[in-house]
Chains A and B, each alone.
Chain A
Amino acid sequence: MKKLFLIAALGVAGFVSAKNAEETKPTKEPEKKEIIKGVVAEDPNDKMQCYEWAMYVWCTDQFFADTVCWGAGSGTATHAQAVADEIHNSQLLTEYFCGSGTQHGWGTGNGPN
């Protein structure tokens, strides 16, 4: 009984330790894709919804239109994820067209590193 208890203790300890080690490893891209697919598949009844998204690029005075969708069949699981993706897209467009943010455009003294 005592031996069993000790083995159980070591087993739990090893499991916790392994879980912790897994969390600190850099994630590899293929694994990430599998996880995203898994999340989408968990909500098969979630209907696809979309926004029309217009990204304004201040230094060229242009709007770039995009459609942002989430839910079943969209490839993006949640509204929050879709919005986060589009915010990132807007940041990238601004950065690569103008430099980063107001008064940080190309030729103003600051560009992206």
Chain B
Amino acid sequence: MRFYISIFILFINILYSQSDSLKSQYEVIYKFKCLDDTLSKNIASEENLSLLIKNHKSLFRSTQKAKSDSIATTIGMKAVNNAINGRVVVDMRNVPGVYFKSEVFLDNGKQTVYKELMRNKFSYPLDDPILWKIESEAKIIESYVCRKATGKYKGRHYIAWFTKSIAIPDGPYVFKGLPGLILEVYDLNDTIHFSMISFTKTIKPMILMKDAFATKYSNFYKARKDMIENAAGMLSSQTGITLNPNDIMRINNNAKRNNNYLD
């Protein structure tokens, strides 16, 4: 009888330990720099992004988004508490911008990309991971000896610098799968650039984007294309706000200025 009770307790312990929320062992912070409009070379967005790693799993996302949402909630709740005759006035100008809204979850070699289009959230499996070619060139980044690798992803050529000193085959966004951590990666025209700021032992919860609609990349691509074509229409339908012709023109023109999407 004791034997069976031991087995029972062992099963419960193992399974409850597995059901605990996933927490990181390491965190890599990358600086992300992107030219939103490749025709205006001076306009660049910058943001810090986080790669949380636990064994063969990792989560890559913006560090700014949670802060931004928290500030927006604080502003919104303050406006609600200060409502006059049931009328709430809210101004979001002081909410920090979030430019990098994509997230990538790596689970034992399989990557899932999460994207946001206004209120809609999508997730799709990465079907075409980068096939890297390791080159002979080397350089030092933050005291780490790095090797060069080149690869192609969604029609763009990328250069990555990875170090075998950190034997984690991971990196920012979908740039993974080299025999060491990627410390820097950029496209040939340098319109998209990730560079490591820090690598630390950090325990943080790894929480996936919620309520994402699981689909294929092609469906997401079409949804984004539709959004770019008619951003004002989508904004109006998702918020319920009626827009006048000038507003529609402004929003549609703004949406089309961004021509450097990281797929």
Contacts and interface: CB of A to CB of B under 8 A. Distances in A.
A29 to B, nearest CB: 5
Contacts of A23: 19
B88 A53 contact: yes
Given A24-B208, A87-B90, A113 B214 contact: no
Contacts of B8: 5-6, 8-9, 12
A86 B89 CA distance: 11
A96 B89 contact: no
Contacts of B1: 2, 5
Interface residues of B, number: 69
Contact of A111 (B76, B86, B258, B262): B258
B241 A93 contact: yes
Interface in B27-52: 34, 36-37, 42-46
B87 interface: yes
B74 to A, nearest CB: 10
A48 interface: no
Nearest to A1: B1
A88 B42 CA distance: 30
Contacts of A73: none
B96 interface: yes
Interface in A52-84: 52-56, 58, 60, 62-64, 66, 68, 83-84
Interface string B76-118: 1100100100111111111111111100000000001000001
Interface residues of A, number: 60
Contact of B90 (A53, A97, A102, A112): A53
B258 A5 contact: no
Task: State the main secondary structure of chain B at its contact with A.
Answer: mixed
B239 interface: yes
Nearest to A19: B19
Interface stretch (B143-151, B156-164, B181-189, B246-254): B246-254
A39 interface: no
Contact of B11 (A10, A63, A95, A97): A10
B258 A112 contact: yes
A81 to B, nearest CB: 12
B89 A54 contact: yes
18 contacts: A5-B1, A9-B4, A12-B11, A12-B12, A17-B15, A26-B213, A50-B86, A55-B92, A60-B247, A68-B88, A83-B80, A89-B241, A90-B72, A96-B232, A96-B251, A99-B254, A101-B93, A101-B96
The 4 closest A-B CB pairs, nearest first, are: A100-B97, A87-B76, A113-B99, A104-B97
Given A5-B1, A55-B241, A88-B72, 9 more contacts: A24-B208, A26-B212, A51-B83, A51-B87, A55-B90, A89-B241, A99-B254, A110-B97, A111-B37
